[in-house]
Amino acid sequence: MHSRFDRFRATPLGQQLEALIDDPARYAEYAALSRVGVAAVAAIADDIQERFPEVAQDTTARQFCGALVADRMRRQGHEVVQARGRIGGAVFSYGAVFSPRPVVLPFAEVVAGLARMPEALAARMAAIAPAWRRRRPAGTGFSMTEHVCHLRDLDSVFAQRIEAIRTMPLPVIACVDGTALAAERAYQDQDPELALAAFRRGREHLCAALRPLDAATLARCGLRDGLHRMTLEQIVRELLDHDRTHCLELEELAAELAQDGAAGSRVA
């Protein structure tokens, strides 16, 4: 899940919501809704309304719920088939609709999906007027400019991880705080067009490096945070999941800006 929720996740409310959403028994409900084309997050709507009434007035908490359900579904191998499916009820208005059953992409298709991301990002940026590209959504989230800069810089991080696993015995793979990085590097002050061009170049080089990797190389491991062994292939699939997370967030951002006419001044 996106690091923008790390701080909320550590709060008592965040921990309580995670316990509710990540209960193994919940997956059956998420999957059942997915088979009938309903957003998976609808499975928790009644429990949230009854047991967590404060969430109705907390935009970040609602965003966290949607992101955590999406993370659970992606971990089970489901793909998003509709970014914003309407939900009836008082807590959630929209949520991602996932594939009826898990989908395991061949590695070549994973790389092809990564290669398509620059065009997908360019299309989403073109849908947001230049004057609005530094506006943040309500709650917790990046502006369009911050999304592009983040994706550019995370590609460099993933390239370093992949090279380390490819060439070193069990290298340590540290997590990155994307929110802190955005502040440190002043993403809001950067030119999103230049960031997009740099992302295109970096992603092209990354995909070119991934295509020739053989099964033995993909099975090499790195040590995530000194604890979890992850194969190089899992790291690459994680990057595709990261892309898809940002695509969902950009869909939500564009919808919010369209709804309120980009009113307000959330550019802090």
Confidence of residue 111 (pLDDT cuts 50, 70, 90): very high
Quote the DSSP letter at residue 185. T
Return the SS3 of 84.
Answer: strand
Cα(161)–Cα(259) distance, rounded to whole angstroms?
A: 39
Greatest mean pLDDT among 78-82, 100-104, 190-194: 190-194
203 versus 268: the higher-pLDDT residue is 203
User: Does the structure show a pLDDT above 80 at 260?
Assistant: no
pLDDT digits (tens, 9 = 90+) for 129-161: 999 999 999 888 899 999 999 999 999 999 999
Rounded mean pLDDT of 231-239?
96
pLDDT at 264: 43
Q: What does pTM read for this prediction?
A: 0.84
Cα(130)–Cα(3) distance, rounded to whole angstroms?
A: 26
Cα(124)–Cα(257) distance, rounded to whole angstroms?
A: 12
pLDDT at 1: 60
Contact 30, 73 (CB under 8 A): yes
Contact 264, 131 (CB under 8 A): no
pLDDT at 266: 42
pLDDT at 262: 46
pLDDT digits (tens, 9 = 90+) for 12-48: 999 999 999 999 999 999 999 999 999 999 999 999 9
Q: What percent of the chain clears pLDDT 70, i.e. is strictly above it?
A: 96
Q: What is the mean pLDDT of the chain?
A: 92
Q: What percent of the chain clears pLDDT 90, i.e. is strictly above it?
A: 79
Query: Counting Cβ atoms within 10 Å, is residue 118 exposed (0-12), middle (13-18) or buried (19+)?
Result: buried
Residues recorded for the chain: 268
pLDDT at 88: 81
List the domains of the chain with CATH numbers. 4-98 (no CATH), 107-265 (1.20.120.450)
pLDDT at 53: 95
pLDDT digits (tens, 9 = 90+) for 203-218: 999 999 999 999 999 9
**Residues pairing with 221 in the sheet:** 231
User: Does the structure show a pLDDT above 80 at 125?
Assistant: yes
